[in-house]
């Protein structure tokens, strides 16, 4: 048993010392995933689990008809991706994102939120 | 002496925990096993359909069987290591070894390696939109490579199998809370390279143990809290709960011929915690019938995502991008 544990320790130790990266996944967003807001947000903000590569990371917001309504100004600050939206009428909106983490792992996803009066 | 060994083991456990903390305490996110916006965790009792760079170190399983006839009650504990490596984006190979400890009640303890295992897997279909993945592979249990003391077979078993994974993110709007569900599984045919083994007892009696073909099948049903939070509804769960994936695995084997019949297997409810670079999983192992055992056991695994830990070296396919 002791030998096994020593071997495991030896196996794990070098994993700590090396630089690592990972896929970037959505950690949370504002408006929150699946939420209903009563005031139209000026921006949609997405926080990811990894730093993003600005040149290859973007997000779009579309309305319930599928028409893109964001202002096309997606910008990256570390793990935060922000995109501006015009005043939103009540309804359902879908946020689609596609990002590249700094170690070149690509991920994508989407979610919706509602704007209510 | 026993106490001293216990203390040493505790120290080693702390060292292990400390060494691995940097990998585990890394917060949100996950790694390989991705179709669209779906992350599929590695499962413990049933192989998943992904071709990936990953390392399971260790998988520890323990189960006790009751005494039966002349067989004493036995606690079987296995310590396994499994490594998978992508050759190309869609083709991977794997190797596995298990060190077994058989503690016979009122008898000696037997230790030794079980047969080594090797495998090859090819992913031939993936739909990101439908969160679906299909692959085919062959597992080779290498006969004679393990110790007979712990029951390693002297013959090999080849198991060609189909693997599948399906996430339910495409369910319609009224069923949004079911979208985090996913299922992975396999169906394969176990083909022993020898139809039977002749046994000679201490009294000189001769008998033949037959080795049937077997249908190897199983699946895992999982509910992904990370998927719920990032794609369906942020219900406000935070670490560590926002990275947990409750799972129930069904691992079955059905004998097909050579005088054998019936199904044996286990149902394993448990939970997987998936971090950026590794996942931890614990499951309870429940035999489905008397043929499968009569005591509840457990299995636990620490699993590393090599493609995330070493993205530019050993975490890449050997050929290709």
Is B131 at the interface with chain A, CB within 8 A? Answer: no
The pLDDT tens digits of the residues spanning A64-115 come to 999 999 999 999 999 999 999 999 999 999 999 999 887 778 899 999 999 9
Mean of pLDDT values over B283-295 = 90
Q: Which of B230, B48, B34 is nearest to B121 (CA)?
A: B48
B65: confidence class by pLDDT, cuts 50, 70, 90: confident
Chain A residues inside the 8 Å CB shell of B280:
none
pTM of the model: 0.85
Whether residues A107 and B34 touch (CB distance < 8 A) is answered with yes
Query: How big is the CA angle at B159 (ends B286 and B302), to the nearest 5 degrees?
Result: 50
B80 has which bridge partners? B59, B98
Q: What is the pLDDT of residue B309?
A: 87
Chain A residues inside the 8 Å CB shell of B308:
20-23, 103, 105
Measured in whole angstroms, how far is the alpha carbon of residue A31 from the centre of its chain? 12
B257 has which bridge partners? none
Whether residues A20 and B37 touch (CB distance < 8 A) is answered with no
Q: What is the pLDDT of residue A5?
A: 52
- Distance, in Å, from the CA atom of B38 to the CA atom of B228, rounded to the nearest integer, reads 10
The pLDDT tens digits of the residues spanning B182-201 come to 999 999 999 999 988 888 88
- Distance, in Å, from the CA atom of B280 to the CA atom of B51, rounded to the nearest integer, reads 19
- Judge contact between B172 and B56, C-beta under 8 A: no
Of B34, B57, B234, Cβ closest to residue A23: B34
Element of type H or E holding A39: none
Closest residue of A to B6, CA-based?
Answer: A2
Chain B residues inside the 8 Å CB shell of A64:
none
Q: What is the pLDDT of residue B24?
A: 42
Q: Give the gap in angstroms from C-alpha A32 to the nearest C-alpha of chain B.
A: 6
Whether residues B12 and A110 touch (CB distance < 8 A) is answered with no
Q: What is the pLDDT of residue B244?
A: 95
- Judge contact between B304 and B23, C-beta under 8 A: yes
Angstrom CA distances, A91 to A42, A63, A112, B258, stand at 15, 8, 10, 65
- Judge contact between B63 and A9, C-beta under 8 A: no
The tally of CA atoms less than 13 A away on the side-chain side of residue B192 is 18
**Where is pLDDT greater, at A110 or A1?**
A110
pLDDT for B165 beyond 50: yes
Of B23, B232, B307, Cβ closest to residue A12: B23
Among A48-57, B29-38, B94-103, B136-145, the minimum mean pLDDT is found in: B29-38
Mean of pLDDT values over B138-161 = 94
Closest residue of B to A114, CA-based?
Answer: B233
Q: Assign residue B121 a region (left: φ > 0; alpha: ψ between -120 and 50; beta: otherwise).
A: beta
B28: confidence class by pLDDT, cuts 50, 70, 90: very low
Is B292 at the interface with chain A, CB within 8 A? Answer: no
Is B30 at the interface with chain A, CB within 8 A? Answer: yes
Q: What is the pLDDT of residue A6?
A: 56
The pLDDT tens digits of the residues spanning A36-69 come to 999 999 999 999 988 899 889 999 999 999 999 9
Q: Give the gap in angstroms from C-alpha A90 to the nearest C-alpha of chain B.
A: 18
Whether residues B9 and A5 touch (CB distance < 8 A) is answered with yes
pLDDT for B14 beyond 90: no
H, E, C per residue of chain B: CHHHHHHHHHHHHHHHHHHHHHHHCCCCCCCCCEECCEECCCCCCCCCCCCCCEEEEEEEEEEEECCECCECCEEEEEEEEEEEEECCCCEEEEEEEEEEEEEECCCCEEEEECCCEEEEEEEEEEECCCCEEEEEEEEEECCCCCCHHHCCCCCCEEEEEEEEEEECCCCCHHHHHHCCEEEEEEEEEEEECCCEEEEECCCCCEEEEECCCEEEEEEEEEECHHHHHHHHCCCCCCCCHHHEEEEEEEEEEEECCCCCCCEEEEEEEEEEEECCCEEEEEEEEEECCHHHCCCCEEEEEEEEEHHHHCCCCCCCCCCCC
- Judge contact between B286 and B317, C-beta under 8 A: no
What tokens appear for B241 in the block? 């709960």
Q: Which residue has the tokens 């090599």?
A: B306
Number of C-beta neighbours around residue B83 at 10 A:
17
Is B232 at the interface with chain A, CB within 8 A? Answer: yes
What tokens appear for B284 in the block? 């309870």
Q: What is the pLDDT of residue A19?
A: 42
Helices A2-17 and B2-24, interaxial angle, to 10°? 20
The pLDDT tens digits of the residues spanning B224-276 come to 999 999 999 999 998 899 999 999 999 999 999 988 889 999 999 999 999 88
Number of C-beta neighbours around residue B10 at 10 A:
11
Whether residues B37 and A4 touch (CB distance < 8 A) is answered with no
Mean of pLDDT values over B29-45 = 81
**Where is pLDDT greater, at B321 or B129?**
B129
Whether residues A107 and B37 touch (CB distance < 8 A) is answered with yes
Chain A residues inside the 8 Å CB shell of B12:
2, 5-6, 9
Q: How many contacts does A have with B, using Cβ atoms within 8 A?
A: 119
Whether residues A9 and B12 touch (CB distance < 8 A) is answered with yes
Mean of pLDDT values over A30-40 = 95
DSSP assigned state of A88: P
Mean of pLDDT values over B99-123 = 93
B70: confidence class by pLDDT, cuts 50, 70, 90: confident
A12: confidence class by pLDDT, cuts 50, 70, 90: low
- Distance, in Å, from the CA atom of B314 to the CA atom of B145, rounded to the nearest integer, reads 27
- Judge contact between B253 and B288, C-beta under 8 A: no
Q: Assign residue A91 a region (left: φ > 0; alpha: ψ between -120 and 50; beta: otherwise).
A: left
Percent of chain B clearing pLDDT 70 (strictly above): 90
Closest residue of B to A99, CA-based?
Answer: B37
Q: Which of A25, A51, A99, A104 is nearest to B274 (CA)?
A: A25
Query: How big is the CA angle at B139 (ends B133 and B142), to the nearest 5 degrees?
Result: 165
A4: confidence class by pLDDT, cuts 50, 70, 90: low
Whether residues A22 and B13 touch (CB distance < 8 A) is answered with no
Residue from A15, A24, A96 whose CB has the most chain B CBs within 10 Å, to mutate = A15
Q: What is the pLDDT of residue A21?
A: 53
| Arithmetic mean of pLDDT over chain B | 87
What ipTM was assigned to the predicted interfaces of this complex? 0.83
Mean of pLDDT values over B105-126 = 94
Whether residues A104 and B23 touch (CB distance < 8 A) is answered with no
Chain B residues inside the 8 Å CB shell of A24:
29
**Where is pLDDT greater, at B307 or B11?**
B307
């Amino acid at each position: 048993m002791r030998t096994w544990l020593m071997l495991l320790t030896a196996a794990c130790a070098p994993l700590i010392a090396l630089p690592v990266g990972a896929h970037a996944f959505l950690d949370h967003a504002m408006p929150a995933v699946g939420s209903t807001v009563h005031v139209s947000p000026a921006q949609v903000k997405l926080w990811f689990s990894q730093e993003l590569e600005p040149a290859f990371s973007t997000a779009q917001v579309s309305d319930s008809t599928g028409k893109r309504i964001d202002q096309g100004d997606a910008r990256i600050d570390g793990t935060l991706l922000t995109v501006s939206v015009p005043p939103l009428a009540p309804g359902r909106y879908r946020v689609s994102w596609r990002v590249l983490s700094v170690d070149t792992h690509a991920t994508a996803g989407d979610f919706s939120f509602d704007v209510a009066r | 002496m026993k106490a001293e060994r216990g203390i040493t083991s505790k120290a080693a456990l702390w060292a292990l925990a400390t060494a691995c903390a940097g990998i585990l305490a890394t917060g949100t996110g996950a790694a390989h096993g991705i179709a669209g916006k779906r992350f599929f965790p590695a499962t413990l009792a049933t192989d998943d359909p992904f071709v990936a760079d990953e390392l399971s170190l260790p998988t520890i399983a323990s189960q006790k069987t009751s005494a039966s006839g002349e067989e004493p009650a036995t606690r079987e504990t296995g310590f396994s290591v499994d490594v998978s490596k992508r050759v190309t984006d869609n083709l991977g190979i794997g190797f596995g070894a298990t060190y077994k400890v058989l503690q016979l009640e009122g008898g000696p303890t037997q230790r030794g390696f079980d047969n080594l295992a090797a495998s090859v897997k090819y992913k031939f279909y993936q739909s990101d939109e439908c969160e679906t993945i299909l692959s085919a592979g062959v597992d080779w249990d290498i006969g004679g490579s393990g110790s007979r003391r712990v029951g390693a077979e002297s013959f090999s078993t080849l198991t060609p199998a189909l693997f599948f994974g399906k996430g339910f993110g495409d369910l319609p709007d009224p069923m949004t809370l079911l979208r985090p569900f996913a299922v992975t599984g396999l169906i394969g045919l176990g083909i022993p390279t020898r139809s039977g083994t002749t046994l000679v007892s201490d009294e000189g009696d001769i008998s033949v143990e037959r080795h049937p073909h077997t249908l190897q099948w199983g699946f895992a049903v999982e509910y992904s809290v990370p998927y719920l939070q990032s794609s369906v509804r942020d219900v406000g769960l935070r670490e560590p709960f926002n990275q947990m994936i409750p799972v129930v695995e069904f691992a079955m084997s059905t004998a097909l011929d050579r005088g054998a019949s019936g199904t044996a297997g286990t149902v394993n409810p448990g939970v997987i915690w998936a971090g950026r670079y590794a996942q931890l999983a614990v499951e309870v192992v429940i035999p489905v019938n008397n043929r499968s055992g009569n005591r509840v056991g457990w299995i636990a695994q620490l699993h590393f995502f090599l493609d995330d830990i070493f993205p530019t070296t050993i975490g890449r396919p050997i050929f290709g991008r």
